[in-house]
Amino acid sequence: MIKQAKVRATAHTNIALIKYWGKADVSLNIPTTSSLSMTLDKFYTTTELSFDASGQDRLILNGEGTDATRVKGFLDLVRQKTGQDFPGLLIDSQNHVPTAAGLASSASSFAALTGALVRLLDLPENDREMSRIARIGSGSASRSIFGNFAIWNKGHDDASSYAEPFYDEDIGLSMIVAEISQKEKKMSSTRGMQLAQKAPSYGAWVEKSARQLKEMKSAVQAHDIEQIGLIAQDNALGMHEQNRLCPEPFDYFIDETRQVLAFTEACYRSGLLAFATMDAGPNVKIITDKASETELLARFKNEFPNMAFEIAHAGGGLSYD
Ligand code: ADP
Ligand code: DP6
């Protein structure tokens, strides 16, 4: 039964401290590793969903008609899985985050779309079910249903692979996002991770990631930002190493990325909490705490006067308005 004609949902991006970088099942986004993330307050997507008079699925992104192939593929899978052959949808979405630049627009956008869809179709608003649906749109979106720290247990099939809240307290972690480039990346995360999985060292990264996840859980529960930063940095740099070592090598790093990484390390050596994590793009997220963020930001702005920086903290889960 269809309850509402139009629904608006908002979801925030999340940044993984232990990354998802590989698929055991490509069509369902079943990952090779479990991952742990923090949802951010600063970056989000708001999506308004209604039925489209044309009967087709259409996407309007930031006010402009946009290629709907990916969302249509997602909606068709949802039609198939829920057995609800709902008519074409108009997805009118605003990204308050650069699209496809490695700042997790796919996470916030598929989580927002899932939230809106579930309400529009009057499906049960169950977090676990919504996480599973969002996962089919984009793996990282499974975690954006939740605020604060979420864990995506890799599972082994569609029923067992979903995210859930891990720690719902603000532990004072800050992320300074160095917006090195807002341009759309050349290599999508979907393709990048599938290439990286062919690296001879990939199995070792997966094994290490399981150990790092355990350590990360303890560090989050202990509010130990230094440990969180050290583990997250090692996990992320290891992920990017697979990209360089696979049979068709590629690299998301550009010169400014390397400069920001080197400066982050120099700041840490000088006694400030400063660690880096990176996703599928050249942008760097610097992990620190609320007490250090002002001084650290001033140092980065001084060193990189032409670069844009934003400070983000823990944000909330899926919401409606
Ligand atoms: P990012 O690093 O931003 O997550 P991805 O390549 O993983 O980049 O995902 C970007 C893709 O996600 C876009 O090319 C588009 O297909 C989809 N996308 C991004 N924002 C939206 C949105 N608001 N609504 C629907 N799809 C979106
Ligand atoms: C590096 O979730 O964008 O950000 O499932 O193919 O849509 P698809 O990939 P996506 O990959 C995110 C990769 C990452 C790490 C992470 O968020 O865990």
Which pLDDT score, from 0 to 100, does residue 104 have? 77
d(CA 38, CA 16): 6
State in Å: Cα 258 to ligand 2 middle: 22
User: What is the pLDDT, as a whole number, of residue 82?
Assistant: 87
Residue with CA nearest ligand 1 atom 8 = 100
Widest distance between CA atoms in the chain:
61
Contact 120, 139 (CB under 8 A): no
The beta-carbon contacts of 17-20 under 8 Å, at least 24 apart in sequence, are 17/216, 17/220, 17/228, 17/231, 17/232, 17/235, 17/277, 17/287, 18/209, 18/212, 18/213, 18/216, 18/231, 18/232, 18/235, 19/209, 19/235, 19/236, 19/239, 19/279, 20/139, 20/140, 20/152, 20/193
Residues having CB within 6 Å of any atom of ligand 2:
16, 19-21, 29, 35, 104, 106, 138-140, 189-190, 279-280
pLDDT for residue 284: 97
Q: For residue 276, what pLDDT is reported?
A: 98
Whose Cα sits closest to atom 4 in ligand 2? 279
Q: d(Cα 105, Cα 96) in Å, to the nearest integer? A: 9
Please, what CATH class does the domain formed by 6-169 belong to? alpha beta
| Per-residue pLDDT reduced to its tens digit, 78-96 | 999 888 899 999 999 999 9
Where would I find the H helices in 153-254?
189-196, 202-221, 225-245
Instruction: Tell me the CA–centroid distance for residue 179 and ligand 2, in Å.
Output: 18
| Predicted local distance difference test score (pLDDT) of residue 181 | 87
Ligand 1 centroid to Cα of residue 112, in Å, is 12
What secondary structure letter does DSSP report for 168? -
Amino acid of residue 319: S
Question: Looking at residue 182, what is its pLDDT?
Answer: 82
For ligand 1, atom 16: residue with the closest CA: 70
Mutation test residue for ligand 1: of 109, 114, 193, the one with most atoms within 8 Å of CB: 109
The residue whose two tokens read 């499906």 is 123
273 CA distance to ligand 1 middle (Å): 31
Predicted TM-score (pTM) of this structure: 0.96
Q: Which ligand is nearest to the CA of 111?
A: 1
Q: Is the CB of 103 under 6 A from ligand 1?
A: yes
CA of 192 to the centre of ligand 2 (A): 10
Ligand with an atom nearest the CA of residue 239: 2
CATH superfamily, domain at 173-312: GHMP kinase, C-terminal domain (3.30.70.890)
Cβ–ligand 1 distance for 109 under 6 Å, the answer: yes
The whole-number pLDDT of residue 3 equals 55
| Domains of the chain by residue range | 6-169, 173-312
Task: Determine the distance separating the centroid of ligand 1 and the alpha carbon of 19, expressed in angstroms.
Answer: 18
Distance (angstroms) between ligand 1 centre and the Cα of 110 equals 8
Q: Are the beta carbons of 47 and 116 closer than 8 angstroms?
A: yes
173-312 has the same fold as 6-169: no
> What distance in angstroms lies between residue 139's CA and the mean position of ligand 2's atoms?
6
pLDDT at 157: 97
**Contact by Cβ (8 Å): 14, 152:** no
Using DSSP's 3-state secondary structure scheme, residue 12 falls into: strand
Atom of ligand 2 nearest to the CA of 152: 18
As a whole number, the mean pLDDT across the chain is 95
> Which ligand sits nearest to residue 20's alpha carbon?
2
Closest ligand 1 atom to residue 97 Cα is 3
Residue ranges of the chain with per-residue pLDDT less than 70: 1-4, 100-102
